[in-house]
Structure 1
Amino acid sequence: MNRIDRLTAILLSLQGGKHSAREIAQRFEVSRRTIVRDIQALSEMGIPIIAESGSGGGYSLPADYSLPPLALNLHEALLLRLALSSLSQLSELPFKQARESLLDKVQALLPKREHDNLDQLAQALSLDLPKRPYPTPFLDQLLESVRNQQWIEVTYRSENGVSEQTLLPMHLSSSAGLWYCEAYSSERQAMRIYRVDRFLSVREATAPQLLEPPVDSIPREHPSHPEIRIKLTARGVLRLEHQPYVAHLIQRTENGEGWLCMRWRPEEYDWIVRTLLQLGTEARVLAPEDLRLRVQQAIKDLAEHYQM
């Protein structure tokens, strides 16, 4: 990174909050002395940088200071356009109109002489997401519920049928072209993950009387969850590499075989069972016993289903 780019990046960083010279130096992989000189150069340009010494000190900008519009270089514009274009493959998107206007702004912030180059690079690259024809009409409402910590009453369609539930949405995420809502269920007194396209209705609700207050979701890899150990053949390793949730957890051996060692919520074992059925004899569960028995039962159920 040349000095002009670094000065711009430092200025953008300071607009986000106070940082010490050491923190800035570590981020840009330069010496603390270099950062001090950069701060001095910015001050000489008329930037009102506030310097605080002592413990907890650092550099910052006045709260009412705003940067003038900055031009993007070709690669910055390409990354933004690539990300925004890939989002258009989702069936629904929060603030859909904002995405369109932001694409126009990205184009406007790039020097005109680079417009043709941007179009050529954008045609040479793509980020593909699976296209799902499932509408999610309550996506914006769920996002507002997360932001406002608003309880909702929902009608939800799952594999077990249609149910009425009272939820406190905590987080929204997208994976493999589908939207998911992580929420605290009043009925189950626990966190659950819901497919957003399976909500049939969503309406505001008053907070219910709970036995225990809602807590943030415990991550899958938390030590309190059972440890799963699965032996994989070489072919099993190659096939499981396509699963985004677990591909990074595969431990490969020299002969191409491997192990899948991880911790997982027991209430989400159904997904693992379905994945293992797809692998067939290319995978074998060694632990925990509960998961191994669930796979055995699923195989028996499948065999009975196809008996003539």
Structure 2
Amino acid sequence: MPKSKRLMELMMTVNRKRRFKVQELADEFGVSKRTILRDLQELSELGVPLYSEVGPHGGYQVLRERVLPPIAFTEGEALSMFFAVHALRHYSSLPFETESASALNKFYLHMPGDIRDRIDSMKDRVDFITPARRGDAPCLSVLLDAAIQGKVLVVQYESKEEGSHNRMIQPVCIYANNGLWYCTAYCFLRRGFRVFRCDRIREASYEATGVEPIELSDIRASRQGAATPREPVRLRAEFTRAGIQRCESELWLAPMLVVREDGSGWIDTEVARSDLPFFTEFFIALGKETVLQEPAELKNSIRQRLAELLERYE
């Protein structure tokens, strides 16, 4: 095997392994230990962050911030990757903000001149619009790390009902929708899943008193709205085709919809009574594209809100 090819495959191999010994690599590549040691030295000089431990149980490992091996992209693939990262600029906060900016610069600077010219001309022709939000979400990285590692956090959360207060949560996932970041988490106070606005989480730290995390490995991002309602009330409503299309753009609502062949549909679910003020505004915004069937208290809330609005225009 040519040395250049061996170094490339060796780079991919050590990035894939957590720990390894020289003899293992020598056996795998069919070369001597001395050759592997020279190859590892060259990889280290190329920027692969290798760490060695001496002793009978020692060996090599690649540090956490690994350098990925070179990947060959076609022109179309490179353009799609560039604009996928470029689209993230609309978000005021990202869990990997510095890294995404760095990746974008590397893509751009290492492309041939003609492809950079094509990117420059495309920037004014294609975009992925996301509503600009003023509030930042400073704890995204901590929330994502806790979700990956299954750890419990203590967060300072600001809500309209309770003001600023502390919550103990175990994040499941974070996701972006309509320009805002949300975190699905198990709430130890409410003893159930809740969805938190990440821009309302002002501080987050790992729980230090020894509270045991619960098993959430079977919970995925598809459970964004999997919160057990407090004081549940039944919500039933019919939607026109246009109403369904507008509802489908709401990530939390789409899984609850039942859609007919003609595009119209309905919803029949339970929601928390404390969420009725939100649903009041939501159904008013839908206008004639929906017919609310129950609960009666939501109907009354909508009538009262509409009456308040009419008074402003008398």
State TM-score, norm by structure 1. 0.63
Pick from 166, 169, 179 the counterpart of residue 167 of structure 1.
169
Counterpart Cα distance in 2 of 1:267 and 1:86: 37
**Once the 2 structures are TM-superposed, how far is the Cα of residue 134 of structure 1 from its aligned partner?**
0.4
Over 3 Å counting, the alpha-carbon distance change for 1:104 and 1:152 in structure 2 is same
CA contact (8 A) 1:91 1:134 kept: yes
Identical amino acids, percent of aligned pairs:
24
Which residue matches 2:300? 297
Which residue matches 1:107? 108
Which residue matches 2:266? 260
Counterpart Cα distance in 2 of 1:134 and 1:237: 29
Pick from 204, 207, 215 the counterpart of residue 205 of structure 1.
207
Counterpart Cα distance in 2 of 1:220 and 1:296: 27
Query: SS state of the match for residue 148, structure 2?
Result: helix
Unaligned 5+ residue runs, structure 1?
1-10, 18-47, 49-63
**Once the 2 structures are TM-superposed, how far is the Cα of residue 114 of structure 1 from its aligned partner?**
2.5
Over 3 Å counting, the alpha-carbon distance change for 1:260 and 1:307 in structure 2 is closer
Pick from 251, 272, 276 the counterpart of residue 259 of structure 2.
251
Trace 1:18-167 onto structure 2 (pairs within 5 A).
69-108=70-109, 110-160=111-161, 161-167=163-169
**Once the 2 structures are TM-superposed, how far is the Cα of residue 282 of structure 1 from its aligned partner?**
2.8
Per-residue CA shift, 1:97-126, capped at 9, x if unaligned? Answer: 211221122235544443222332343211
**Once the 2 structures are TM-superposed, how far is the Cα of residue 209 of structure 1 from its aligned partner?**
5.8
Which residue matches 2:6? none
Over 3 Å counting, the alpha-carbon distance change for 1:155 and 1:305 in structure 2 is farther
Counterpart Cα distance in 1 of 2:215 and 2:210: 11
Root-mean-square deviation (CA), in Å? 4.1
Deviates more, 1:115-124 or 1:164-173: 115-124
Over 3 Å counting, the alpha-carbon distance change for 1:246 and 1:307 in structure 2 is closer
Counterpart Cα distance in 2 of 1:194 and 1:221: 10
Over 3 Å counting, the alpha-carbon distance change for 1:92 and 1:220 in structure 2 is closer
CA contact (8 A) 1:78 1:122 kept: no
Which residue matches 2:26? none
Counterpart Cα distance in 1 of 2:192 and 2:125: 46
Per-residue CA shift, 1:67-92, capped at 9, x if unaligned? Answer: 95233222111211111111111011
Counterpart Cα distance in 2 of 1:192 and 1:245: 12
1:282 corresponds to 2:289: yes
Per-residue CA shift, 1:112-158, capped at 9, x if unaligned? Answer: 44322233234321111111010212222222222333322222111
**Once the 2 structures are TM-superposed, how far is the Cα of residue 220 of structure 1 from its aligned partner?**
6.7
**Once the 2 structures are TM-superposed, how far is the Cα of residue 304 of structure 1 from its aligned partner?**
6.6
Query: SS state of the match for residue 284, structure 2?
Result: helix
Over 3 Å counting, the alpha-carbon distance change for 1:183 and 1:68 in structure 2 is closer
State TM-score, norm by structure 2. 0.62
Which residue matches 1:35? none
**Once the 2 structures are TM-superposed, how far is the Cα of residue 180 of structure 1 from its aligned partner?**
1.0
Which residue matches 2:188? 186
Counterpart Cα distance in 2 of 1:172 and 1:76: 27
Query: SS state of the match for residue 174, structure 1?
Result: strand
Over 3 Å counting, the alpha-carbon distance change for 1:299 and 1:114 in structure 2 is closer
Per-residue CA shift, 1:218-275, capped at 9, x if unaligned? Answer: 83788x9999653234654565465455569573665xx7223475765795454432
Letter in 2 for 1:171: C
Over 3 Å counting, the alpha-carbon distance change for 1:189 and 1:112 in structure 2 is same
Counterpart Cα distance in 1 of 2:115 and 2:93: 31
| Count of equivalent residues | 244
Query: SS state of the match for residue 90, structure 2?
Result: coil
